[in-house]
Structure 1
Amino acid sequence: MVEFAGWSMPVQYKDSHISSHLHTRHQCSAFDVSHMLQTKVYGKDRVKFIESLIVGDIAELKDNQGTLSLFTNAKGGIMDDLIVTKTDQGYLYVVSNAGCADKDSAHMKAKLQEFKVAGHDVDLEYLEESLIALQGPSMAGVLQEGVSDDLNKLTFMSSVLTPVFGIRGCRVTRCGYTGEDGVEISVPPGSVIALMERLLACSQVKLAGLGARDSLRLEAGLCLYGNDIDETTTPVEASLVWTIGKRRRQARDFPGADIIIPQIKAKTQRKRVGLISTGPPIRQHTPILSLDGRIIGEVTSGCPSPCLKQNVAMGYVETSFSKLVCQLYTFQLVGE
């Protein structure tokens, strides 16, 4: 167990980190991600409110559809990544990172006060619900026994309120942080142990901790806030332009738009890329060198890949190197 953002979190359970990683890829694993910040945004101006903070087009979402988005600051930096779901229950359901919980809640509260002073109808509720991620190719078969809704109709980034194995008040969202098919289940805290025991009664499900969660996301090329993206990184540099809605680009009405939009058309000085290396695994802050020994970037995350049987990493390099597949000393640069 380790301390993480004020929580005591499991690095691994009985099985090794590698065993948990591979089990997630081949069957499915349950991750306790209750440390994530869950928020409901109410009021007739809720979409306008959340869009004043993020780059995503929430207005265009269908009911019970969600999207990955980014909180940005006036300088175009990424304050956090989050998922926003437009529910048909009269609120937006927002999940953001535990490590940024205090910052995110303060940021939203400050904007809320500004909106209320201007006469807008919006309010926030911070949830106490637990959050369980069930991830892996066997997920649908395991969970279908416990829900009445047809999971074949629950498409990626869609969400539904439904009892799960008889537990009421659950929200099931088809998303995750592993690169596998999966769901995140928001469950009343008094029922989370019962839910976990029911899931673990299935032989295909095992518990997995932070170690497997990190290697799975890195193997899938997904960013970790604080490592691969932060307030000094713009969405363009981070190769996350796809999170910016087309309407939002045209309107230029999100924080930092005057910096971010010109970067979309012009080249930034650096860009996030994937890396494969030989020898010992490369870790955060390792410099990336060109063949002539010049430092052209820095690694932000790295680990051995249990599935690929080689070292994987990501980092930032000068943009002129970002579209090349070339040998950079011991690092092989994988294209965008």
Structure 2
Amino acid sequence: MSEYPVNDDNQTEDLAPMLLPLDAWHREKGGRMVEFAGYMMPVQYEGIMAEHLWTREHAGLFDVSHMGQVMLSGEGLEAAVEALLPIDLSTLKLGAVRYSLLLNETGGILDDLMVSRWPGGLYLVVNGATKWDDIAHMRECLPDEIVLNHLDERALLALQGPEAFAALERHVSGDYPLSALTFMRGGKFELGGVEAWISRSGYTGEDGFEISIPGESAAAVAELLCGEPEVKPIGLGARDSLRLEAGLPLYGHDMTPEADPVSAGLVFGINKRRRSEGGFPGAAHILNALVKGTARQRIGLTLEGRMAAREGAKVFVGDEEVGVVTSGGFSPSLQHPIAMAYVDAAHTADGTALEIEMRGKRLPAKAAPMPFVPHRYHR
């Protein structure tokens, strides 16, 4: 199985992990709790393999309340945010959700994030392991006129899988039906008597929803959704194996400040107008890389047998070291190991024969297109 990281380099040492609003609920449901990104979180309930396959076939409920939820508002918001992110806000309509990147001055990735246009401002979701650094960075870079509100009193749940819509639709009401939401669209609904912001998005490659609600309502909403026959609680372990099959990178592993969006295969996070105009951190480096290419590229790898390649494993062509694995694990859906790696550009074509060094052995591998399992977003 893919190993979800349970230790985080950004975590402050000697601080007791914080508890999420659903901590007691997870324990009651049999969640095996681990420390991740400064919080105690469930890594699994009945087993990673079973939870993974359940989500692919039915619907899984994930607690992602460790993620940072931020609201930005104020005079001059559009220009201020476009100076910080490579996003085109002129094309981001009310209720729309868009993937973007927080970059340093050399084009390195500080974080990836989701940006939504809410009434009254922009709603951002940033990674839990980096949220304090992200908030500090944004406060430093944004003008004083921009108000940054960390929505730390809110919980965030993700309901993912082909039966997620059916389970959720039974409990929501609003000014328009849930079916009006297509992939990367969101809106305000009432969910079990609780006001919720719901977007059709996620991190599994499946159709699904992310649900922002007040923290004090999280247990009631989780219980309501898991009362549906299609839904089970799912832990961090299956979340990682699902995102790996979907070819989705994990910050701190497949994305770091040493990686740029071009080599990471995340150019779609730089909107078209910004690629021509620039004006965002690291633009000169990134626009040059778009023209000239990069020395290494993030690619997918497929392996035979059962032994999985793990992060840090070296990639070879013959005796030449040509790359390094950044994520790897056994694919429950495909029943063989898969991985992501940064590999020298000359050896990235699909089908290229490679070898991965694990425990003193060379594992045969091939460069493969991603996603490994096709996305099933509702467009």
Query: Per the shorter chain, which TM-score range?
Result: over 0.9
Matched, 1:30 2:54: no
* Structure-2-length-normalised TM-score: 0.84
**Structure 2 match to 1:333:** 367
Partner SS for 2:194: coil
Structure 1 distance, partners of 2:278, 2:304, is: 43
Structure 2 distance, partners of 1:145, 1:50, is: 37
Structure 1 distance, partners of 2:211, 2:258, is: 32
Gaps of 5+ in 1: none
How far 1:221 moved relative to its partner? 0.2
Gaps of 5+ in 2: 1-32, 356-363, 371-379
Structure 2 distance, partners of 1:8, 1:324, is: 39
Partner SS for 1:242: helix
Task: Please give the residue correspondences for 1:103-114 in structure 2 after superposition, counting only pairs within 5 Å.
Answer: 103-112=133-142
**Structure 2 match to 1:74:** 105
The amino acid across from 1:152 in the alignment is S
Matched, 1:267 2:281: no
Partner SS for 1:247: helix
Structure 2 distance, partners of 1:335, 1:20, is: 25
On the 8 A contact 2:350/2:366 being kept in 1, the answer is: no
How far 1:157 moved relative to its partner? 0.8
Structure 2 distance, partners of 1:172, 1:11, is: 24
Task: Provide closer, same or farther for how the CA distance between residues 125 and 331 of structure 1 changes in structure 2, counting only shifts above 3 A.
Answer: same
On the 8 A contact 1:38/1:94 being kept in 2, the answer is: yes
Residues 77-86 or 1-10, more deviating: 1-10
On the 8 A contact 1:288/1:331 being kept in 2, the answer is: no
**Structure 1 match to 2:269:** 243
On the 8 A contact 1:162/1:172 being kept in 2, the answer is: yes
The amino acid across from 1:295 in the alignment is E
Partner SS for 1:49: helix
**Structure 2 match to 1:312:** 338
Question: Number of residues paired by the alignment?
Answer: 326
Structure 2 distance, partners of 1:12, 1:28, is: 15
The superposition leaves residues 259-296 of structure 1 with CA deviations (integer Å, 9 ceiling, x where unpaired) of 00010111210000000012310000111111x22111
The amino acid across from 1:151 in the alignment is L
The amino acid across from 2:85 in the alignment is I
Structure 2 distance, partners of 1:335, 1:84, is: 27
Task: Please give the residue correspondences for 1:145-294 in structure 2 after superposition, counting only pairs within 5 Å.
Answer: 145-148=170-173, 149-168=176-195, 170-279=196-305, 280-290=307-317, 292-294=318-320
The CA RMSD over aligned residues, in Å, is 1.1
Task: Please give the residue correspondences for 1:79-94 in structure 2 after superposition, counting only pairs within 5 Å.
Answer: 79-87=110-118, 89-94=119-124
On the 8 A contact 2:201/2:210 being kept in 1, the answer is: yes
Matched, 1:7 2:39: yes
* Structure-1-length-normalised TM-score: 0.95
Structure 2 distance, partners of 1:205, 1:331, is: 36
Structure 1 distance, partners of 2:128, 2:344, is: 31
Structure 2 distance, partners of 1:278, 1:102, is: 40
On the 8 A contact 1:322/1:335 being kept in 2, the answer is: no
The amino acid across from 1:56 in the alignment is I
Identity, % of aligned positions: 42
Matched, 1:125 2:152: no
**Structure 2 match to 1:21:** 52
The superposition leaves residues 59-90 of structure 1 with CA deviations (integer Å, 9 ceiling, x where unpaired) of 21111101010000001000000000012x11
On the 8 A contact 2:55/2:161 being kept in 1, the answer is: yes
How far 1:52 moved relative to its partner? 1.7
**Structure 1 match to 2:74:** 43
Partner SS for 1:11: strand
